[in-house]
Structure 1
Amino acid sequence: PYTPVESHPGKSQIATFDEMLRNARRPMVILGGTRWDEKTVSDFQDFASRFKLPVGCSFRRQMLFDHLHPSYAGDVGIGINPALAHEIKDSDLLILIGARMSEMPSSSYTLLDIPYPKQTLVHVYPDPEELGRMYRPDLAICAAPAEFVAAIKELQPPALPLWTERKSSMHDSYLKWSTPPKSGPGDVHMGPIMAWIEENVPIDAIFTNGAGNYATWVHRYHRFRKYNTQSAPTSGSMGYGLPAAVAAKQLFPDREVVCFAGDGCFMMHGQEFITAVRYGLPIITVLVNNGIYGTIRMHQEREYPGRISATDLVNPDFVAYAQAFGGHGELVEKTEDFGPAYLRARESGKPAIIEVRLDPEAITPAKTLTQIRNRN
């Protein structure tokens, strides 16, 4: 197999990094990208604990840090917590490890100035062509996360880090931000459903999803605890979740695999459900059906209120669809029906689809479709 040639940080670079960190008053770390492994994730978590550093995770890379760790500040992706966005902008030392800070995690390039960020920037990335291409770092280190984290393990923290209180405040803000709402439009409320999932799904379960507004419920309200528990497209490709779940269950047969999909997203690659049936892979698909291409409809209503085009969907009977393929199907039309439906899907031992009939008004956790349409 192909083995990448790794580069390693120089001693002078680590010494400079150490000095920059000691001189900081409002540091912030953002983790992202690939080339991580379980040991590197654990070692960096230990480093963050010793230095009491606030840590965020880039778009759809939330599995890189335990969300209930006191250093966790939140996900740096679509629909970022405004308080976290403010802290990133206000930081005096921003440390990017493995992350590129492209359009989605940078909130359309608004969190950092281009090409010279206001924050002192340390950028750790394994490709030298990326370093300085968008942002000009004060310290550029060409290394994969594993090599960088190994190099900083022996650094010693200040006796009393100046940012400890700020770190605690950011974690408290994250916990509040990631607490799901208790109600919403219609008879099915995703907030209580997410709360049920948090209480009843193992912490090593693998969550997959594609692209769409439905994914907000996973990214904002599921608290990832362990490495290798997330598979989602940073490119924003629809239809990713189901084939990703099939692959994840094949790789980790003893772990629960939960695929989140919208109705439009599912129909991009819904035929892959037969692959799960063929190979006996009991994935559980939570199919959030609001009868529309939700994200596109939201943009249409925001930019051209009332002038919608090609975003209404005519869907199959998803319960019958699952059964026709030889799987298990469930329909949820009331919030309280979700828990029992999920347990039956799990106990069936088959690939399962749980169709959740969601009111299209519940387009985001914060605003309804009507509110977006009438914003002016």
Structure 2
Amino acid sequence: MAKLTGGQIVVRSLIKQGVKIVFGLPGVQNDWLYNAFYDYQDEITVIHTRHEQGVGYMALGYYLASGKTAVYNVVPGPGFLNSSAALLTAYGLNAKVLALVGQTPLKTQGKGWGVLHESKDQLGIMKRLTKYSDKVNDIKEIPHKIQKSFQEMETGRPQPVGLEISMDLLMSSDEMAFPALEKEKQEIEIDTSIVNRIAEALIHAKNPLIFVGSGAMDASEEITALANYMQIPVFAYRTGKGIVSSRNYLSHPVPAAYELWKEADVVVGIGSHVRMPILKWGTDEHLSFISVNIDINDHDKIMTPNIALTANAAQASKAILETLKNKIPQRTSREKEMQVLKASWKEKTAYLEPQATYLRIIREELPDDGIFVDELTQVGFASRMLWEAYAPRTYLSTGYMGTLGWGFPTALGAKIAKPELPVITVCGDGGFMFAVQELATAVQHKIGVIICLFNNNAFGNVQNMQINNYGNKVIASDLTNPDFIAMAESYGAHTEKVSDFDSFRQAIQKAKKQELPTLIEIGVGIDMPSTDQFKSMPKLRGVN
């Protein structure tokens, strides 16, 4: 057995779990971990950023684009808290992200001595942001607790986990053997009687609908096959885009379901709570809700389902389809009807200009598997209604967290996960400045993302509402910005400033050929048309 430091044991354990990239920032509590990263740099790469929020968002983007577990490392206290918005967003997005967090020496913890980076009950904070968190109390625990962390992400509902390791354990040493690590694969045994009930409900339904969310991201093939066989329209909003390709006539954005909700008799949520339609459009005794979810505790979060199936989305969809095939032939095509729905939705959203044209140009310049990263800006809001996603993991969104400033650093992580693909994010000037310093990271590590920066010198959406909804009470929404072009060039990034749609397209075409990041600045006003009207659709049914 080799004698290794705690830091080396951590790194060897990560390598054995298949980790090849860690996003992190060094600091004194993690010195011996980074010594180990240096020792094993031929097997594992550290991508370092200019702020701890950057490492968290980059890890999140890496997972969202690839589906592979991501790891980030920060120092304790302020370092951990700087990353916590990204960790919370990962929690909301069901992301497999391991937060590997440093800690003060064991003998100082809980004493309130005021040692560097001390915080009260850091592990307690971490537990509230993750599915599972733990601390290492002895150097010999390290391999087991890292394995346990990965196991928690791989079983049941995938969500982030945290592991705290103190600096004295990282610098201590011991002989350590690494036993073969067997990953338990906990397949949930599907209840065939429930599958049969779902099949019967779909067979007898007159107007069934399917809604998908992030819990169904790895079930694209199975859900598409089920929808095609039964000719059931499928609706996705922020986190479900691309599960069924937008080219499929059965695929629509969630707000378009409004037209069909009143007559829907069976609604199936696959990896989705179906939150917006149920809460905003109402339910009644004529609507049957079927929940397919890997987490048994999530079935009744919004309403109690008539039928609940606990299973992963791919496994469940395949079982339901196989049962249906044994009972009925494939349903007659509804293409003509669904194309009318698509045309109707396009007509309803035609007023969203110039957002629609910007999004159309980006879509045309991205390959089918190119990656688009949403942001909290008007073009980003419109993308939830208008973006056509042709494959899973190609439209990245914060989901219900709505985390302003996530777009640029998350796009960096996505590009690292998929270096062969173009990655484009749309940012407002307000949100972009949250992580503007990561331009240095993008240049240093040659991460060639394309940033479409829509600049109105304001928190534009906020100011628009202040003017139109609150009697022109404009406060705390005007912004003083730098010269974005000069600033980006000072970092070494490529830049383009455009004033029309043709030059915007040309800038994207040019940016796709660059190894380094490109910032494309587009000057806009704050008065872009809002998508808010779709949030205020009146109820269609009496509340059950």
Under TM normalisation by the shorter chain, which class is it?
Answer: 0.7 to 0.9
Aligned residue among 88, 96, 102 for 2:261: 88
Give, in angstroms, the shift of residue 16 of structure 1: 0.4
Q: 1:268-279 residue pairs with structure 2 within 5 A?
A: 268-279=434-445
Candidates 355, 372, 392, aligned match of 1:227:
392
Q: Give the partner amino acid of 1:275.
A: T
Cα 1:246–1:117 change in 2 (3 A) is farther
Return the TM-score normalized by structure 2. Answer: 0.60
Q: Which amino acid aligns with 1:51?
A: M
Question: Deviation per CA, 1:246-303, whole angstroms, max 9, x where unpaired?
Answer: 1111011101111111111111122222222121111101111122212222332343
Give the match for residue 75 of structure 1.
253
Q: Within 2, Cα distance between the matches of 1:192 and 1:24? A: 38
- The answer to which structure has the higher helix fraction is 2
Corresponding residue number in structure 2 for 1:372: none
Superposition misfits of 4+ residues, deviation over 3 angstroms:
157-162, 178-184
Shift of 1:228: 1.7
What is the alpha-carbon distance in structure 1 between the residues aligned to residue 407 and residue 301 of structure 2?
31
Aligned to 2:303: 135
Task: Give the Cα separation in 2 of the matches to 1:182 and 1:111.
Answer: 23
Contact 1:71 1:168 in 2 (8 A): no
> After superposition, what is the alpha-carbon deviation per residue over 1:179-206, rounded to whole angstroms, capped at 9, x for unaligned?
775995xxxx333332222322211101
Aligned length: 348
Match of 1:64 in 2: 243
Q: 1:111 aligns with which of 281, 293, 296?
A: 281
Pair 1:200-2:368 in alignment:
no
Asked if structure 2 preserves the Cα contact closer than 8 Å seen for 1:89 and 1:119, the reply is: no
Q: Which residue of 1 aligns with 2:321?
A: 153
| Letter of the structure 2 residue corresponding to residue 123 of structure 1 | S
Gaps of 5+ in 2: 1-149, 156-185, 534-544
Contact 1:30 1:96 in 2 (8 A): yes
Q: Structure 2 matches for 1:314-353, cutoff 5 A? A: 314-353=480-519
Q: What's the CA shift for 1:178?
A: 4.2
What is the TM-score normalised by the length of structure 1?
0.85
Counterpart of 2:224 in structure 1 is: 45
Query: For residues 524 and 291 of structure 2, what CA distance do their matches in structure 1 show?
Result: 42
RMSD of aligned alpha carbons: 2.5
Supply the distance in 2 between the matched residues of 1:258 and 1:205 (Cα, whole angstroms).
Answer: 8
SS in 2 for 1:273: helix
Q: Which amino acid letter does the alignment assign opposite residue 30 of structure 1? A: F
For residue 304 of structure 2, give the secondary structure of its aligned residue in structure 1: coil
Q: Could you tell me how far 1:6 is from its partner in structure 2?
A: 4.2
Q: 1:181 to 1:21 in 2, by over 3 A?
A: closer
Q: In 1, are the aligned partners of 2:365 and 2:509 still within 8 Å (CA)?
A: no
Shift of residue 90, structure 1, vs aligned partner = 2.6
Structure 1 residue runs of 5 or longer lacking an equivalent are 368-376
2:177 aligns with: none
Instruction: Pick the structure with greater CA Rg.
Output: 2
In the alignment, structure 1 residue 16 sits paired with structure 2 residue 197:
yes
Tell me if structure 2 keeps the 8 A contact 1:33–1:61: yes
- Percentage identity across aligned positions? 23
Aligned counterpart, 2:528: 362
SS of match in other structure, 2:281: coil
1:217 to 360, 364, 382: 382
